Structure 1
Amino acid sequence: MASSGGRRHFGRVDPFCLFMVLPLVLIAGILIVGGLALVGVVVIVIAAIVILIDSWTNRPLPFDLPDEDYDYEPPPPGRRAH
């Protein structure tokens, strides 16, 4: 956790984020090798921004969630109300 006891700024990166980032990096590599280095660098920056946003949205909560976060009891089985 953060030293101040608050919420951390970044969390773990979701592995499914790599399904979007790895093709972007591959395309950026092809662009750099193909002579469009500036466009390749822009694509790498976009991939880095995607990773940062994903890590930011997956940061841990500043409090613990209870096991049951609601008091819901399903209706008893039987006749349905019409």
Structure 2
Amino acid sequence: MDSTLTSTRPQDETPSLNRARRAALGSFAGAVVDWYDFLLYGITAALVFNREFFPQISPAMGTLAAFATFGVGFLFRPLGG
């Protein structure tokens, strides 16, 4: 009587592990770019937007208005993805 043993090959799971790593790396890179974009927008809102978009009001109120636009963008960010 011959009996053969079949073994599960560990390399069968390697592609799924590689796919998971690539997906995790892609998600991380996308999140970094997204947060970097909002960092730049926040800095620009603090330094530039108050003078460019709200010149008719005081500088302090212009900065608050610029940060309000930043806040609205931050709150609605999940909707636009």
Q: TM-score, normalised by structure 2?
A: 0.36
Larger of the two Rg values belongs to structure: 2
For CA contacts below 8 A with separation 6 or more, give which structure has more relative contact order: 1
The two structures have a TM-score, normalised by structure 1, of 0.36
Which of the two has greater helix per residue? Answer: 2
